[in-house]
Amino acid sequence: MRTLVDIPAEDLDLVNGIAKKLDISRAEFVRRAISFYLEPHRSDPAAGAFGIWRERPVDGLEYQERIRGEW
């Protein structure tokens, strides 16, 4: 998808210089920069909670019963 964005001249000069050093087009540089910036926002934060007990040496249900037994 194409989009039009106003970029300050000094930022554009820096983008052009970096893109040239990387031997990529300015458009490719902008695509990579946007993708990099957005990466932390792509995953679902709740997904990190699933399987949280996977690495623990104790079974989750056993732990729950032991803790409840203390009440």
pLDDT digits (tens, 9 = 90+) for 2-39: 899 999 999 999 999 999 999 999 999 999 999 999 98
In a domain, 2, yes or no: no
Q: Which domain holds residue 16?
A: 9-69
Rounded to whole angstroms, the Cα distance separating 11 from 26 reads 12
In a domain, 1, yes or no: no
Q: What is the pLDDT of residue 56?
A: 78
Q: What average pLDDT does the segment 60-65 reach?
A: 85
In a domain, 13, yes or no: yes
> For the chain, what is the domain count?
1
Instruction: Name residue, tokens 């932390």.
Output: 40
69's tokens: 């037994």
In a domain, 4, yes or no: no
User: CA separation (Å) from 21 to 9, 12, 35?
Assistant: 18, 14, 19
